[in-house]
Amino acid sequence: MVGTRGFEPPASPTPRVRATPAPRPVIATLYYRVQRLLLFSLTAVFVPGGSTFTLQTNVAELFPFTLDDFQLEAITHLDEGKSVVVCAPTGAGKTVIAEFAVEMAMQTNKRCFYTTPLKALSNQKFYDFRTKYGDDKVGLLTGDTSINRDAAVVVMTTEVFRNMMYGTILGDVARNLRDVSYVILDECHYMNDAERGTVWEESIIYAPKDIQLVALSATIANAEELTQWIDETHGPTALVSSSFRPVPLRFYYFGDRHIYPLLSPGHGVNHVLKERFGNKRRFHKDRKRPQVGALGPRPGDVLGTLSGRNMLPAIFFLFSRRGCEEAMKKARGIPLVNHDEEQELKEQIAHFIKDNSNLQNHPHLPYLYEGMSVHHAGMLPSWKGMVEKLFQRGLLKVVFATETLAAGINMPARTTVISSISKRGDEGHRNLRASEFLQMSGRAGRRGMDTVGHVVVLNHPFEPVDEAAKLATAPADPLSSRFTPSYGMVLNLLQRHSVDEARDLIEHSFGQFLLNEQIEPLHLQKIAWQQELEKLSHPLCPTEIGDLPLYLRRLDQARAKQKQMRSMDKGMHKRTEPHLVQKDEEALLVALEAVRQDMKDVLAEAYRMPCHGCPVQKPCSKQSDRVRHLQTRIKDVDKKISRESTKYWHTFESLANVLRLEGYLQGDTPTALGRTASAIRGQNELFLTEVAMSGCLTKLAPDQLAAVITAMVTEEDRDTRNARVRVSPQAEKALEEVHKIGRRLWKLQREFDIEIPVEFGTVFCPITEMWAQGATWEALRMSTMFDEGDIVRCLRRTLDMCRQFIRAEGIPKDLVDLCIKVEQLIARDEVREDF
């Protein structure tokens, strides 16, 4: 029985189960076992404490539908005490497995943690679970919010769970994890994220082995490797994968105002498309590409066709914010909503604006009334929240969005439109990766609402149609490792672990696991070379007293002497001045004779050796050359294996050496300064702590301090020449001091080959100072050219850093008091996050 290891339920009548096609024998066993388990009322024994309780589980209430095979298989593995990795397409029903873990934890008087990659997803799950289980059963933990943290079900971001494992910020690990039996890692494929992927690896490495992990991931190519790593690092783990989509996808190609099937019955490109759109012009990757509609189909034509085929609502993916807004403007005027929907839209928008007054003059409101909107990271959070809710209610028919919408947010549509199969990256334009295409196309098809989902790729004169077909049929990309040791990791691990224990944890990373697999062929090659070397260790010399390497060295020395003699003789004959020739001739002849005698002596020694004239000298020479070659290759492979197998630990040691120089470590033990830095979270914790402890911040007023902290959490990647406002002179002077600290640390890091960035960007500092001085949002928006969403994100990062300084042990009291005032000044209006 699930949750009661080995306990058999009492006899009951055979349940009536909906007829299903005959499954494979193993699946049939799983299906019968779990369905029988869930359909009855069961009595279970709760071992801890010796008490008993009644477990009432009814499938009609828990899962009022027939479970899919992969869901049944995952549930059975959980019942057996294993962790599970579940890989399935978007919308396949992975959440059912997580809900089962939550239910079992609650039914057995245990606790469950549900982790998500985004605060928005955490909030959504928090409200969903509260609705289902009640306010007293569910808690929420984010970076700055703690609600009912000891509840049976606690929702949190993955960063919070990782920090909890350190035991230095959120309290004692044993207390935080008391009675926790399951940890759900939702959207586990975020491990691929360049900036945050390391958090998932650390969470799995540090998680206690008696906790069952439920890792939910989109389809990835190397799911077996991920499962094997978790199995070796954490404990017994089973992989459950499924390619089944409850709502199948159909792929189309739009061009010349017509829509065509993209694939032929054999899953190759439709031959009609090859004939009509096959010839593509070449386009240099560094040239600026036209926006959608400039050379490709017009958005209005696309939407008109989709509307006529009943393929709305749709998400229209583009790869720039500007492209989204231009496409929306070009699509205006297409009738998308009927009269009733238009009236409901007006009512809902009015309701949202009443609660968010900053939206009442939003320039996109006219488009919203027509059933369309834009969604990207530059929009206000309140605007995006409104758009998401209107779309979920079916009142918006199209959302023009960047690919960020494809990750995490619950906004399924009937159709997804992919405007281009390439996008601009750091190296210029590149084709979409298979996982990027899958993530966007996976938004099509709403379970329980659509029988099929539609994916429409737009024609582009510079993109071959067969490339679109390849993406539509390509397998997912493999999951890579983003594991990155940091100053915070070093300090936190050394607070709770010995150096050997810390090294063991570091070398259990997924990154090291993948490296070990990559160097496994090197180990095999080394073994083969060693075996060959062993065979060659038996000499061919019949007397077994010959020293062929010495013989060959003597011959080489003789050749070198001969070459030297030729050079000396040639130099002597080049001298044309009679007085120089006469003066040096005697000395040169003496030197030449000495070299000739040396050559004779060397040759004489060689000729006396047994190897001279030996009949096996040639094969023996080849054998000797091969031995030297193998010895060199084995030595090179050893160096490469050593370098790759200690890559992460070498970085860890380099970071520790810098921390020792700066006074954060005494030997391998964090100092008081080190304990302060261990409570700080950022890209470069050493830099943030150095600034906080330098004293340059306590001289500032709260609004000035807010501006300076913004510089510490912002990358300088924007043009500041057109800035409309500037910071105060006091803040500017403090920024100069902070910059000097950052520059010094950057030089120190270079000496130790450390590549952790020292972030310092002043572009948003004047805006933060204005906001802290009490400016309205409208005044703030009018004073800058930056997108509102970027401003909110910057201010929230500033607010988060202030709160970290407030909580961190050892931060000067004057700075803590100032940060409290900054928090009160900044946390208002759009910047305040409601939970």
Q: Is the confidence at residue 764, as pLDDT, over 60?
A: yes
Distance of CA 448 to the CA centre of its chain: 31
pLDDT on residue 592: 83
pLDDT on residue 706: 97
Query: Which whole number is the average pLDDT over 406-416?
Result: 77
- The secondary element (H helix, E strand) that includes residue 675 is helix 672-678
Computed on alpha carbons and rounded to an integer, the radius of gyration of the chain in Å comes to: 35
State the DSSP string of 482-547: -----HHHHHHHHHHS-HHHHHHHHTTSHHHHHHHHHHHHHHHHHHHHHHHHHHTTS---SSS---
Largest CA distance in the chain: 125
Kindly report which listed range (176-180, 200-204, 338-342, 563-567) carries the lowest average pLDDT score: 563-567
Which amino acid belongs to residue 297? Answer: P
pLDDT on residue 717: 57
pLDDT digits (tens, 9 = 90+) for 792-824: 999 999 999 999 999 999 999 999 999 999 999
Which amino acid belongs to residue 650? Answer: H
pLDDT on residue 287: 47
Q: Is the confidence at residue 725, as pLDDT, over 80?
A: no
Q: Is the confidence at residue 170, as pLDDT, over 70?
A: no
- The secondary element (H helix, E strand) that includes residue 604 is helix 578-608
User: How far is it, in rounded angstroms, from Cα 198 to Cα 221?
Assistant: 19
Tokens representing 705 are 């301090």
pLDDT band of residue 590 (cuts 50, 70, 90) is: confident
Q: Is the confidence at residue 425, as pLDDT, over 80?
A: no
pLDDT on residue 543: 58
pLDDT digits (tens, 9 = 90+) for 442-489: 889 988 889 999 999 999 888 889 899 999 999 888 989 999 999 999
User: How far is it, in rounded angstroms, from Cα 784 to Cα 803?
Assistant: 26
For CA atoms 738, 739, 742, 743, the dihedral sign is: negative
Contact 509, 201 (CB under 8 A): yes
User: How far is it, in rounded angstroms, from Cα 125 to Cα 122?
Assistant: 5
Backbone angles phi, psi at 202, to 5 degrees: -60, -40
pLDDT digits (tens, 9 = 90+) for 817-833: 999 999 999 999 889 87
pLDDT digits (tens, 9 = 90+) for 103-120: 999 989 999 999 998 887
Kindly report which listed range (254-268, 324-338, 567-581, 766-780) carries the lowest average pLDDT score: 567-581
Kindly report which listed range (401-410, 457-466, 734-743) carries the lowest average pLDDT score: 401-410
Would you put residue 801 in left (φ > 0), alpha (ψ -120 to 50) or beta?
alpha
Reported pTM: 0.80
For CA atoms 791, 793, 799, 801, the dihedral sign is: negative
Backbone angles phi, psi at 737, to 5 degrees: -65, -40
pLDDT on residue 778: 87
- Our CA dihedral for 146, 792, 124, 111, rounded to 10 degrees, sits at -30
Query: Which whole number is the average pLDDT over 506-532?
Result: 86
- Specify which of 19-28, 134-143, 293-302, 610-619 reaches the highest per-range mean pLDDT: 134-143
Backbone angles phi, psi at 270, to 5 degrees: -60, 125
Q: Is the confidence at residue 293, as pLDDT, over 70?
A: no
Kindly report which listed range (58-72, 203-217, 796-810) carries the lowest average pLDDT score: 58-72
pLDDT on residue 24: 37
Which amino acid belongs to residue 672? Answer: A
Contact 250, 257 (CB under 8 A): no
β partners of residue 373: 399
**Which of 634, 621, 616 has the alpha carbon at shortest distance from 533?**
634
Angle between helices 339-355 and 381-392 (to 10 degrees): 150
pLDDT band of residue 207 (cuts 50, 70, 90) is: very high
pLDDT on residue 9: 33
| Residue % of the chain over a pLDDT of 90 | 49
β partners of residue 85: 215, 239
CB atoms within 10 A of CB 68: 18
DSSP annotation of 726: -
pLDDT on residue 19: 36
**Which of 372, 378, 370 has the alpha carbon at shortest distance from 400?**
372
Contact 81, 38 (CB under 8 A): no
